[in-house]
């Protein structure tokens, strides 16, 4: 199997991110996929982006401007 390298934009493992662990993934060029050294996550860029969007959903006010304090 190919040597794992740092992928673009330092994608963190989205599964580890769900438990608030910042874990950079390695990228396998031959398989065109990212993988995590810790939690066994494996997925292509689209899967990472999809899960990152899911992570952000917990911030229900992420797009809301709040001025009443």
Backbone angles phi, psi at 21, to 5 degrees: -115, 125
Backbone angles phi, psi at 43, to 5 degrees: 180, 160
Q: Build a one-symbol-per-residue string for 1-30: x at contacts with other proteins by CB under 8 A, - elsewhere.
A: ----xx-xxxxx---xx--xxxx-------
Q: Which of residues 34-63 bind other proteins (CB under 8 A)?
A: 38, 52, 55-56, 58-63
- The reply to whether 64 sits near other proteins by the rule CB under 8 A is yes
Q: What is the DSSP letter of 13?
A: P
Q: Give whichever of 1 and 10 is closer to other proteins, judged by the CB atom.
A: 10
Assign 36 to helix, strand or coil. coil
């Amino acid at each position: 199997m190919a040597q794992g390298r740092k992928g673009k934009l330092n994608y963190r493992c989205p599964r580890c991110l769900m438990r608030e662990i910042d874990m950079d993934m390695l990228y396998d060029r031959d398989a065109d996929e990212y993988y995590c050294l810790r939690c066994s996550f494996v997925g292509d860029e689209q899967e990472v982006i999809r899960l990152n969007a899911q992570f952000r959903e917990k911030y229900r006010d992420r797009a809301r401007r709040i001025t009443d304090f």
